[in-house]
Amino acid sequence: MADDPNASDLELVRRIKQGDDEAFREMVERYHSRVYSLSYGVLHNAEDAEEATQDTFLTLYRKIGTFDETKKFFSWFYRVALNSAYSRARRRRPGITVSLDDYAPRFGGDGTEASPQYQAWVSGVEDDVIARDLARRAEGFIAELPDTYRDAIWMVDVEEMKPADVAEILEISLPALKSRLHRARLFVRQKLAEAASRAPALSERRVAP
Amino acid sequence: MSHDEMSCRKLILDYLGDYEDGSMPSAERKDLEAHLSHCPPCVLFLHSYRATGRTLRMLKPREIPKNLAEAVMKFVKARCKDKE
């Protein structure tokens, strides 16, 4: 069973239902990093993400009896984690979200993409220092996305989870997930390109002295 | 889909995601690659789309707070004791 993570999760779930605190501890050890990282994707703040992680495991402890063992544990549990994070997010002042259409690619009369001048930053991604700066900015751009798009891009592109698993967690079809993901990527791409065009250092490769 | 239908707009808005995740049927994939072979702006766009993905992957691994697992255990125990 050890080579089947789902079976192991289920074993732990059954033991937790029977009041086995050691099984709960094992579950915390197994999932706390992933829950924290997922929460951070919603909240973009370390303290809030830590508190949301605690809320998630408290809910797990209290609600484990309602988990249907014919379903996949991780889908149920990630939904619990997302709900905890969004519950905390709602208590904060609402952030500003943007219209994706404002940052969709623009096309000229001949159908070609109308802003190729924004492309120079691409080579900068090969440079570690520039790439880290761009990544920091990208995190801010993701935070501006509407929730449904933010969840998709964070789980697939940052957490590198399988799209089919993410679709299951979000309870949407795979084509719907892929559509959200693509639109979110187009938005972040456009924002990165525009940021780089305003800060030329982000699109120049550094030359070693 | 004929080659003529593979405009830049369709390629970018409708097909790029499937192309990149490998789920595009091979006939359409060939059309798309034929378009790319004579459309430098779309090639640039594809590179920037891939660069966006590389940039996002850099956000992980995130630093996890020290002793988070222990803090979670303490939090849950304290809350559950309150209710008992």
Q: How far is B68 from chain A (nearest CA, A)?
A: 7
* CA A167 – CA A176 distance, rounded (Å): 8
Q: What's the domain range around A25?
A: 5-91
The per-residue pLDDT for A6 is: 53
Residues facing A113 on adjacent strands: A107
The per-residue pLDDT for B68 is: 95
Whether A208 is covered by a domain: the verdict is no
Which of A91, A125, A158 is a domain's end point? A91
Q: How far is A56 from chain B (nearest CA, A)?
A: 9
Q: Can you give the CATH number for the domain in which A162 is found?
A: 1.10.10.10
Select from A63, A117, A125, A180 the residue whose CB has the most chain B CBs within 10 Å, as the one to mutate to test that interface. A125
Rounded to 5°, the CA angle A60-A66-A71 comes to 90
Number of domains in chain A: 2
Query: Concatenated DSSP letters for A49-118?
Result: HHHHHHHHHHHHHHHGGG--TTS-HHHHHHHHHHHHHHHHHHHSPP-----GGGGSPPB-TTSSBS-GGG
Examine the domain organization and report whether A22 and A53 are in the same domain: yes
Domain boundaries in chain B? 3-83
Nearest to B76 among A37, A58, A186 (CB): A58
Do the chains contact at A125 and B7, CB–CB below 8 Å? no
Rounded to 5°, the CA angle A95-A101-A102 comes to 70
Query: Concatenated DSSP letters for B14-45?
Result: IIHHHHHHT-S-HHHHHHHHHHHHT-HHHHHH
- Encode chain A (209 residues) as per-residue pLDDT tens digits: 344 455 589 999 999 999 999 999 999 999 999 999 999 999 988 999 999 999 999 999 999 999 999 999 999 999 999 999 999 988 875 666 677 777 777 777 777 766 656 666 777 777 778 888 889 899 999 999 998 999 999 999 999 999 999 999 999 999 999 999 999 999 999 898 888 877 666 655 544 44
Examine the domain organization and report whether A85 and A36 are in the same domain: yes
Q: What percent of chain B has pLDDT over 90?
A: 52
**Predicted TM-score of the model (pTM):** 0.84
Examine the domain organization and report whether A185 and A135 are in the same domain: yes
Examine the domain organization and report whether A86 and A109 are in the same domain: no
Examine the domain organization and report whether A42 and A85 are in the same domain: yes
Do the chains contact at B52 and A185, CB–CB below 8 Å? yes
Closest chain A residue by Cα to residue B79: A58
Do the chains contact at A119 and B47, CB–CB below 8 Å? yes
Which of A26, A57, A91 is a domain's end point? A91
Nearest to A111 among B9, B16, B18 (CB): B9
Whether A209 is covered by a domain: the verdict is no
Chain A touched by B9 (CB under 8 Å): yes
Which of A47, A67, A91 is a domain's end point? A91
Determine contact, residues A44/A136, Cβ cutoff 8 Å.
no
